[in-house]
Structures are given as structure tokens and as C-alpha cells.
Chains A and B, each alone.
Chain A
Amino acid sequence: MIRRIAAVLNARNVEFLRDRSTLGWNIFLPVLLVLGLSFIFSGQGRPMFKVAVLQPTGQIDVQQHPFLQTKYVEFFALTDQTDAVRNVARHKIDMLLQFQPEARYWVNPEAPKGYILERLLLQTDPGIARAEVSGEAVRYADWLLPGILGMNMMFSCLFGVGYVVVRYRKNGFLKRLNATPLRPIEFIIAQVLSRLILIMAVTVFVYIGTRYFINFRMQGSYVTLFIVALTGAICLISLGLVVAARFTSEELAGGILNMLTWPMMLVSGVWFSLEGSHPAVQMLAKIFPLTHILDAARAVMLDGATLIQVMPQLSVLGLMSVVFLFTGAAAFRWQSD
């Protein structure tokens, strides 16, 4: 069994490494994206002031305080005070307000927008209690890098496995393998391992390469980050195998893969933080593996989260992987019916 898995694994690795265009695309695209986007977004602030309001109900009543009626400020509710204060420290939100049990605000004195908002707030409520939070601003490039790496991983896992296996089925290569003693589970394990090795190698390479150009933030442990990437890659590859299980049409598989990847790109927080977005969008984001991968990766890289602290995301990814793998293995066919 191991000999057969090793044979298929080796052949697939050779195929990938010799396909220079695919290899180059996998390595250089994310580097270019990080460089390009960090250049584009450098020096520009967000177009709007963002103020969070601590509300256990998750709803804001604008009649609660006259400041909440200020125009051109985006107010949104948060329930977790610790997270909210950390976001003020990281400059991710400009001010945090609380009205119960006492009126209070948190502001980062290093944040220019926080200063302006504070002046406005004190005009409407001079007696409100003040709390200072300090911390370095997280640059957009710092915040974006995990998103770019995660997005590259997502495309590589889903298309690299899903599309390739469908192509193998369509051109009859799977049928040829079916004529040998190779079993479906052996083929699937080989595909998962092959893609996993390649993805992890490419991701590490891109991480190191990007670090050379941009001195981005890394607060946590590299081992923890590696475990997050590994778990995420297994989950995404397993999802790719579900798509690859039966189809023989590359067009159909491509369409389904696009249907999976585009929502993840848009709502999993690759480009912009989901904080403050509609609760339905945040709920939708939770069904996608990429959301949990990026949450965990950013927690490690930006906030120095430990393995225990990212265990909730890792558990979700692990559970999703099991479901996807079982579904993919049960549905797998060497050829169309």
C-alpha cells in the first residue's frame, strides 16, 4: 500500500514541479500581490471613522447618546470587551464606547483619528470617563499578508486537487489507474499528501520571500503558525476532493470551484476586516474554512496567540476536514458512470 501511495505521490510531485508555469504562478503571484497592495494602500487611511460600541445585545440604539448621531462615523456594536480594546490598541477601530454600567471610552493616543473623534465626543459629553490604550498600529500589509497567503493556499488546494483530478478522470488516466491494483483510498491519500507537501513548501517559500521585501509583523510562534497552515491546507484539499469526486467536466468543476472560492475571497476577510459588517455576512463567513484559517493566522501573527488560543479555529477546521474527506472518499469514482 505504501509503495503504491509513494509511486503516485512521487509522480504527481514531479508533474507539478516540472509544470513551470503553474509552479511560477503559485509562487510569484502572492509575492506580487503583497508588494503591489502594500504599495497601493501605504499612506492612505480608511475613508471613514470606525467607532465600536460595547453592547451585550449586539444592537445600537442611536438615542442612547447624542454622539451616536454624528454623521460620517460608522458605529457598530461589539460584545467582547477584551477583543474590542485590543482592536483599539491595534488601530483597527478608532474608538470604543461603553454606556452601561457607566459611560466610558477607550482611545489610542497614537491614533490620529482617535484624537479627532475624542474632540468630537467631549463636545457632546465632557464628563465621560476616559481610558487610554497603547499599541502599535497594524499596517495594512501586516494585516493583508495572512489573507494573501491563505487565499493562495485556497486556490492551490481547491484547483490543484479538484481541477487536476477531474482532468485525470476526463482524459482517462484515472480509468488506467483503476486497471491496476491501486485502490481509491490510496490514490486519495497520495493526492492529499502531494498537494500538502507542495502547498506547505510554497507557502513557507512565499512567507520567507515576502519577509525579505516587507518587514511584516509576526508576534506568535512559527510552530503554531505552521500548524494553522497545515490544518487549513488539509481542510481545503479535502474540500477540493469533494468537488473532484465524480465530475468529468473541467468546465463544471471549474464553475463549482469558482462558486466556492469567490465567496471565500469576498467574505472570509482576505482583503478587509469583517468587523462592523452585517451579522448575516459574519455568519455566512463562518461556514467557509478560509475564515477560520485567517482568523487563526492573524491571531498568531498580529496578536501572538498561542496554540491553545487558536484551538477553536483548529477544531472547526479539523471537523470540516473529516466531513469533507469522508464525503469525498464515499463519492469518489474512477470514471463517469
Chain B
Amino acid sequence: MSGRHFTGSTRTINRDSDIKEDIDHSDPVLQVRNLVKRYPSVLAVDGVNFSVRRASCFGLLGPNGAGKTTTVEIMEGIMPPTQGEVLYEGHPIGPRFRDEVGIQFQSTALQDHLTVLETLQLFRRLYKHGADLEQVIQMCSLEKLLKRDNRKLSGGQRQRLLLGVALVNDPKILFLDEPTTGLDPQARRNFWELVERIKENDKTVILTTHYMEEAYRLCDEIAIMDQGKIIAQGSPQALLKEHFDDVILELPKADLPSPLVEFAFPVLERGDYIEISTPDVNLALAMLVERNINLNRMQVRPRNLEDLFLELTGEDLRT
């Protein structure tokens, strides 16, 4: 969203202190240690450390270019790091890892002219052990699409097939790299339900996304990346609690007789709205009434992960 800027005071963030250890990491399935990925002109990942708890959903959030896909692809063993290491169940990634993880890339083409069923069979045969295809088909709601050519699938159907492909080996860890990008809201919600079903089977899910609602709904723990570094980490609820003790008052700009200058609380312009963040709603309302502002269309909402990202980086997550 363009044209957004703070008109009130802002809070100074100490990035190093924002990585909050509120989650038990005594049984990590994956450990990322001092990961660095350097390209000739870009430092894509800059000394990243974190661990992923078994049977949890771990989310990596960040804007485009933050380094989250690079980090995940190093974790997947697809890309070598410049420095650092990734440990799977305490050991460096080896041949066993390929057999025990499932990956859904951000964008993947499938072999042309193959049906959905043939695609699943192709990938199933690449693994020694795996899931019963019937179960995968049922879990991903692919029953009615089995004879359809891959190329004739809608965006949501295609993502369900790619998820099915990632599940054919009954993986212990499932990587989902921006799985719902480009899907309509209904298809996105359907996909979330699928992931929730997978989580119920005690699988570890590692998700990258820039949809905050997705991360909030699916993730037990998130790490926010910016410019190759992790700038905050913890459960979504704990991070919000840690960083915010206020709520947001949203008002249409059109309802303001004049710009809200020298206001006691931070004011943020957001498109056709302004957002006032305040820990004391009564006081803020009294001050608005005092300025003869019409409050009929005002809304009060709690802080969300989008606010958190904005607070930490000063950037819109979707830019």
C-alpha cells in the first residue's frame, strides 16, 4: 500500500532483543545455524539461527527479497549455503533427508500431458516408502480430478495437486513455500483447512508466506525476516503481546474536518483511513470528541501481524 506514513510518534525497536524465546525447543527436528548465503552482489541471508520444533508449524514471514525463500531452499537441501549448516534430527542433511521431507515450491511446473493420478504415481515411485496414494488423494480432495490433464487445473486445484505431490512419501517435514499466493480467498481458505488436517497428523510444517492471516491461523511459531536477518521470533500471540499494548482505532479520512496533527497518540495514514494506536481507548475517544470528529464509522481492532511487521521494519509486508 503506497502513500503510508506515520504522522505521530513511533517506537524505537531494538532488533536483537526482539527474538523472544517463548517456545520450548528441547526437541528440534531442524536446526539452522549461522546460515549465510552470499551472491556476487547481494547478501541474501545474513547469519540466520533458529530451530524448528517437532510436529509444529513454523512460519517464515517477510517481504519479497527478505531472504525467506533462500533460507527455506537451503533448509530443503536444494541450495548450498555460503556458510553455516542445517541439522536434521541433530545431523547434517544426508540422503535420508530427501526421503523424509515433502516440498511444495513457490512455483513448480509439472510434466505436460500427464493426468493428476499419473503425476502422483510418478512422484510416488521415486520414493522407497511412502503414503497410500488413496489417502493422499482423499486428504487433498483430488478424487474428482484424477483423470484431468495437469495443464487444465485451476490455481487452487493445482496447489492441491502440488501439496499431494509433496505428501506422497508420507514426509515427517513438509515445506510449503508461499503455497496460497495467487489463489482467490475461497481457495486460500480451503488450502488452510488442508494444512490444518496435515498438522493434525503430527507432521512438522515449515511455511513461508506474506499473508499475515495465513501465518496467524496456521503457525505455532513465526520468524520475521528482513534484509536477510531474523528480526523477531516467537509464537504469533506472544510476539503481538510483546510488542503491543494498544489497540487500533480506524477512522475514514473523510470524517476528519482537518488533519490530525499534534495528537497524543501515534497516527498512521492508511489509504482512505487513518489508524490511531492507543493503550487508552477512553482517553483517545474523548480527545476525538473534543475535536468534533464524527465517530459513527469508527472501528476498533486489535493489533495483528501486519502491524507487527510494520512496527519492526517500517515497511508494508506486501511490497
Interface residues of A (CB under 8 A from B): 3-4, 6-8, 10-12, 14-15, 18-19, 168, 171-173, 175-182, 335
Contact of A171 among B78, B101, B109, B128 (CB under 8 A): B109
Complex CA gap A182/B112 in Å reads 19
Whether B111 and A15, one on each chain, are in contact in the complex, defined by CB atoms closer than 8 angstroms, is: yes
Complex CA gap A14/B128 in Å reads 23
Interface of A is mostly: helix
Complex CA gap A181/B126 in Å reads 6
For the complex of A and B, list the 6 residue pairs with the smallest distance between their C-beta atoms, beginning with the closest. Answer: A171-B109, A7-B125, A18-B113, A180-B126, A179-B103, A181-B98
7 A/B residue pairs, CB under 8 Å, sorted by A: A4-B125, A7-B122, A12-B111, A171-B109, A175-B105, A178-B78, A179-B78
With known contacts A15-B113, A179-B76, A8–B108 Cβ distance under 8 A: no
Q: How many A-B residue pairs have CB under 8 A?
A: 67
Complex CA gap A168/B112 in Å reads 10
Contact of B114 among A3, A4, A14, A177 (CB under 8 A): A14
B123 partner residues in chain A, CB cutoff 8 A: 180
Q: Does B127 contact A (CB under 8 A)?
A: yes
Whether A4 and B108, one on each chain, are in contact in the complex, defined by CB atoms closer than 8 angstroms, is: no
Q: 1/0 contact trace for B65-89 toward A, CB 8 Å? A: 0000000000011100000000000
Q: Does B306 contact A (CB under 8 A)?
A: no
Interface of B is mostly: loop
- The count of residues in chain B whose C-beta lies closer than 8 Å to any C-beta of chain A is 27
Given contacts A3-B125, A6-B125, A173-B111, 7 further A-B pairs with CB under 8 A are: A176-B108, A176-B109, A176-B110, A179-B76, A179-B78, A179-B103, A181-B127
A181 partner residues in chain B, CB cutoff 8 A: 95, 98-99, 126-128
B169 partner residues in chain A, CB cutoff 8 A: 180
Q: 1/0 contact trace for B197-222 toward A, CB 8 Å? A: 00000000000000000000000000
Interface residues of B (CB under 8 A from A): 76-78, 95, 98-99, 101, 103, 105, 107-114, 118, 121-123, 125-128, 165, 169
B118 partner residues in chain A, CB cutoff 8 A: 11, 14
Complex CA gap A3/B125 in Å reads 7
A3 partner residues in chain B, CB cutoff 8 A: 125
Contact of A173 among B76, B95, B109, B126 (CB under 8 A): B109
Whether B110 and A173, one on each chain, are in contact in the complex, defined by CB atoms closer than 8 angstroms, is: yes
With known contacts A11-B118, A15-B114, A19-B112, A176–B105 Cβ distance under 8 A: yes
